[in-house]
Chains A and B, each alone.
Chain A
Amino acid sequence: MKEGNFITTTLESLIGWARKYSIFQYPFVTACCGMEYMATAASHFDIDRFGAGLTRFTPRQADVLFVVGTISHKLAPVLRKVYEQMTEPKWVVAFGTCTITGGLYDNYAAVQGIDAIIPVDIYIPGCPPRPETVLDALMKLQEKIQREKQKWSLRK
């Protein structure tokens, strides 16, 4: 930008813009979908292009929770705890059919959709979803983050 020029925007959308391109994600990887998650993160598909390359392995520093793979009833309390430990604002991505409906595993062991445990923002279908689908979902998430009413506060 040349000197003396300026852009007008609302603070709201500025924050949204900043947030959507600096997604710190927490991968909660349990099963086969993790393989595609790895592929998405590696060089061929490169999730870094979307500003979502930085994985934080502690929920306290993450904004987006990627739930990747089947969640069993044994694991359900862990997932909820991880979610509760994340600070606001936070979003959840359900990665793969298992996290959406239980997928192939309609039985005693698997949770039939993680929205029975935690609220979900974006669902990525596929068993496992191809990396292209994941990137598409990521962009949808970014749109959602941009459009949202931003929660923020100035602390004295």
Chain B
Amino acid sequence: MVLEEVEKEFSLRRAESIDGIPTFYCHRELVLPLMERLKRDFEVLLDITAVDYLGRKEKRFELVYHLLSLSEKMRLRIKVELGEGEKIPTLSFLWKNANWLEREVYDMFGIEFQGHPDLRRILLYPEFKGHPLRKDYPLKKSQPRIKLLRPERE
């Protein structure tokens, strides 16, 4: 099995999962070689997202990669713990859709990807300050781009 090999080689930490998708923690510095290795078996990068554990965990962010192997009919979840301000290498030259997925993570969480060709906001606008999916961003704090005719909320 690929996974066991990889698990040893990159000293991954297995985490429990309730949905049957094998889940591993990987060290930040090993992400790039790990993904290069995994790319051979997992053709599709399904998703990159992050979770903000503000005040709950030592390292604030957890980056979550979902991979899909079409030939093996199998999914895989790789997690990386990141502290505030820590950077992570981009995967955009391995999988092309990583470009946008990483931009989204950057936009929503402010996590920076090293070597990303075009790291700017994707869903929000350049004037926007802060990163809305961080837990310390208030839900209703809007940042209008134009002068409004009336205040939005009382």
- Given known pairs A73-B125, A74-B124, the reply for A108 and B150 (CB within 8 Å) is no
Cα–Cα, bound, A111→B148 (Å): 10
A139 interface hit (Cβ, 8 Å):
no
Q: Is the CB of A116 within 8 A of B150?
A: yes
Cα–Cα, bound, A108→B140 (Å): 5
- Interface bits B18-46 vs A (CB < 8 Å: 1, else 0): 00000000000000000000000000000
Cα–Cα, bound, A77→B144 (Å): 9
| Distance of B110 from chain A, by nearest CB (Å) | 15
- Interface bits A42-80 vs B (CB < 8 Å: 1, else 0): 000000000000000000000000000000011011001
Contacts of B125 in A (CB 8 A): 73-74
Q: Is the CB of A116 within 8 A of B145?
A: no
Which chain B residue has the least Cβ–Cβ distance from A112? B152
- Given known pairs A73-B144, A74-B124, A74-B125, the reply for A108 and B149 (CB within 8 Å) is no
Prevailing SS type, chain A contact patch? loop
Contacts of B151 in A (CB 8 A): 116
Q: Is the CB of B144 within 8 A of A106?
A: no
Which chain A residue has the least Cβ–Cβ distance from B137? A108
Q: Is the CB of B132 within 8 A of A108?
A: yes
Contacts of B139 in A (CB 8 A): 107-108
Q: Is the CB of B140 within 8 A of A117?
A: no
Contacts of A112 in B (CB 8 A): 142, 152-153
Interface residues on B, range: 10 to 19
Q: Is the CB of B148 within 8 A of A116?
A: yes
- Interface bits A96-109 vs B (CB < 8 Å: 1, else 0): 00000000001111
Which chain A residue has the least Cβ–Cβ distance from B138? A108
Interface residues on A, range: 10 to 19
Q: Is the CB of B143 within 8 A of A108?
A: yes
Cα–Cα, bound, A73→B152 (Å): 11
Contacts of B142 in A (CB 8 A): 73, 107-109, 111-112
B141 interface hit (Cβ, 8 Å):
yes
Cα–Cα, bound, A106→B142 (Å): 10
Q: Which of B116-146 contact A (CB under 8 A)?
A: 124-125, 132, 137-146
Cα–Cα, bound, A117→B143 (Å): 14
Which chain B residue has the least Cβ–Cβ distance from A110? B142
Q: Is the CB of B145 within 8 A of A73?
A: yes
Which one of B132, B138, B148 lies within 8 Å of A117 (CB-CB)?
B148
A115 interface hit (Cβ, 8 Å):
yes
Which chain B residue has the least Cβ–Cβ distance from A107? B139
Which one of A74, A77, A116, A119 lies within 8 Å of B152 (CB-CB)?
A116
Apart from A74-B124, A74-B125, what 18 extra A-B contacts exist at CB < 8 Å? A73-B143, A73-B144, A73-B145, A106-B140, A107-B139, A108-B139, A108-B140, A108-B142, A109-B132, A111-B142, A112-B152, A113-B152, A115-B149, A115-B150, A116-B150, A116-B152, A117-B146, A117-B148
